[in-house]
Chain A
Amino acid sequence: MKGKYYIQASAAISPQESFSGPFIPQLPVLADKNLLRIQEPDYSGFIPPNSLRRMSRVLKMGLVAALQCLRNGGVNMPGAIITGTGKGSLQDTERFLKNITEYAETALNPTPFIQSTYNSVNGLIALQQKYMQYNNTFVHRGFSFEHALLDSMMQLNEGNTDVVLVGAFEEISDEHFYIKGRIGYWKEALTQPAELLTSNTPGTIAGEGSAFFLLGNQPGNDPQACIEGMKMLYKPTEEKLHAALETFLSQHNLQPSDIDLLITGQNGDTNHDHYYHNLVVQYFPATNSLPFKTLCGEYDTAAAFALWIATRVIKEQGLKKVLIYNHFYGDQHTFLLLSK
């Protein structure tokens, strides 16, 4: 997809101090697990206390990032609400599974079942804003947020609306962390984010977060950045990946050297980091690069946090062209091109 899609506002809840104030990247220090949790903002200014009590973590972080994004953009009614989440509400899914066993399928509380539905955050945003138009949720690992973005771009192309609220949310639970650990998703030894990229071991560290954007066909009052194009590749060979990058850049009349900053999803996993390494060696040997997963950990929709970082560096440092290259465990690869 190619075009001009303006990011008019954004908001992010992440393991960083991203929700308020200027963004100063900090390498977190882990105590006992290879897992980065979000810094929870004060949700009380967004959600009434009795609703708040019933909501699980991912619902809170998803809804509040969305509401803050709308506030930042001064928009009440976006023309569409589109989200991505790889795992939805893990906490509610786990709770309902346990309740089924614990209470032997009788007298179950339906709340965790309702909230475990992948589109429940979307429904809540619409409900909160009394918004009745287009609403969609993508649930496909490292393509969840990416397809939410593509859908948003198509909505703008179709002329259905001038501005779309698009975002992603993901939580990590202790249980899910353990489960994925059994099949090698995480590093075995405690590995600090500062050592992640030089650890030379398989697996990575888990993360979570939520980020939302107002994407419009006009720059808006306080323009953040502009998405110029995106290319997704499913299980490509390295040859196909490299060919796709060359085509993608040439479609935008760019050389690799025109890229001011390369934001990569490099996560220190020796099983899959070669994609990043080989691409950098071949195309971007001298380009500044920022591996963002030392700041947020690995999760299905981490690319949404990368996009949030990109909007910050473009706005604060005046960079002209930023390329994000991320993949999720070698299966879903995405190039996202941004400009000032």
Chain B
Amino acid sequence: MAERVFITGVGIISAIGNNVQENLHHLREQKSGLGYTRHIDTIHKDVLPVGEVRADTPTLAAMAGVQDTPGYTRTTLLGLVAIQEALQSAGIKDARELPTAFINASTVGGMCDTEKVYFDILDPNKEGDFLKYIDTLDCADCTQRIADAVGIDEYVTTISTACSSSANALMYGARLIQQGLVQRAICGGTEALTRFTMNGFNSLKNIDKQFCRPFDQQRNGLNLGEGAAYLVLESESLVKERKAQVLAELSGWNNTNEAFHPTAPSPEGDGAYEAMKNALKMSGRSTADVQYVNVHGTATLNNDISEGIALERLFGTQVPKFSSTKAFTGHTLAAAGAIEAIFGVLAIREALIFPNLHFSQKMEELNITPETQLLENYPVNNVISNSFGFGGNNASLVISKYEG
């Protein structure tokens, strides 16, 4: 019998706050973090809304407790801020005390800083501080700097499956625990806004010039965001041994592929349906046990149809409360799965359902509409958290209330 896997610590930084408490506060206040970039030099800066972390990079360095920052990219610093909170929240003073895994996720690694100096790096006549950023472009750079800073050296790796990256990082860490390779894994992702991704999604014509409207008939694309989030996962036996406080159980997960198109889901939501169905089956819960689905809900034309149909296929006429929190944070790509998993933990802990902001009109393809009110004192025992990405990568997590 595989060990149960518990969530014992959480840490976030996003456009709606520098820690879990601030994120929760803004979710409750129903206050979106979307706005315009202050940190990126782009022609889109007053045109395309983003969910940007307010702190500039030197401020993030100070928050992360990094004195001198040679080669510390914004991606790394966001990650450091979030992981420190996650460790603290789990009551872990020193990550070195136990063999621990660090499974990180990113889609473009240190692109945020290398894109600024890329052409200087290519110019043989230029020398200078920018050379410190030469080796920071790949996704491993931020992972290793974070691992080194907090002292993790057992399993250190990075997953990149586009927008499902950190959901896959959570699954992988949970499986390492179940197979007995480690008792503790810290999993999540970090993503900084870049000109690269803004122009990438804009060239695909799926960025909305207005604030994104998930699951709305008038939706017209996503808004990118940035942030980082980590969850501390521990085996049941370790939790008992050290009498750790359990925030929730990661009770089910599944990863499927759409095999339909490089950047679009199938219209019937086959991958999303299978991922949710299998994750729920693994958790031992039935559809009736789910009170809330934190949908991927990017507000792109395709995702919301496909995901909505998958919800109707799985739950029939009894679709539970669902909402997309991307209208709060923007779409934080590789960090999204972990940020939203933490929102799932908060929904259970605080007995609340987050509203889907900016919704006004039901989609004609669907019979269902997202929850638009903040629901307090709403008992939540099981949450499905969805993350779907390019390459047909789908991931669903089931997060459950800890029943002892």
Contact = CB atoms under 8 A, between A and B. Distances in A.
Interface in A129-186: 129-141, 143-144, 147, 151, 154, 157-158, 175, 178-180, 182-183
Contact of B195 (A100, A158, A183): A100
B159 A101 contact: no
B20 to A, nearest CB: 27
A144 B161 CA distance: 13
A123 B388 CA distance: 13
Q: Which of B155, B156, B202: most chain A CB closer than 10 A?
A: B156
Interface in B109-129: 109, 115, 118-119, 121-122
A47 to B, nearest CB: 14
B160 A119 contact: yes
Contacts of A87: 138
A79 interface: no
A232 B156 CA distance: 9
A288 interface: no
Contacts of B140: 86, 139-141, 143
Contact of B43 (A105, A113, A117): A105
A317 B255 CA distance: 40
Contacts, number: 172
B362 to A, nearest CB: 30
Interface stretch (B316-324, B379-387, B390-398): B390-398
Interface residues of A, number: 58
A117 B157 CA distance: 17
B262 A124 contact: yes
Contact of B118 (A81, A97, A109): A97
B258 A158 contact: no
B143 A120 contact: no
B175 interface: yes
Contacts of A132: 256-259, 270-271, 274
A235 interface: yes
B203 A109 contact: yes
A153 B271 CA distance: 24
B261 A183 contact: no
Contact of A183 (B44, B131, B139, B203): B131
A104 B43 CA distance: 8
A131 B144 CA distance: 33
A158 B171 CA distance: 13
Given A100-B199, A158-B175, A138 B157 contact: yes
Interface in A89-139: 96-97, 100-101, 104-106, 108-110, 113-114, 116-120, 122-124, 126-127, 129-139
B42 interface: yes
Given A110-B200, A119-B389, 20 more contacts: A97-B196, A100-B196, A113-B203, A114-B262, A118-B107, A120-B390, A123-B393, A124-B391, A133-B256, A134-B255, A135-B161, A135-B392, A136-B172, A137-B160, A137-B161, A138-B157, A140-B156, A141-B140, A144-B157, A157-B179
18 contacts: A96-B199, A100-B196, A113-B203, A117-B162, A117-B391, A123-B391, A123-B393, A124-B391, A126-B258, A127-B392, A132-B274, A135-B393, A136-B159, A139-B139, A140-B157, A143-B157, A183-B134, A234-B147
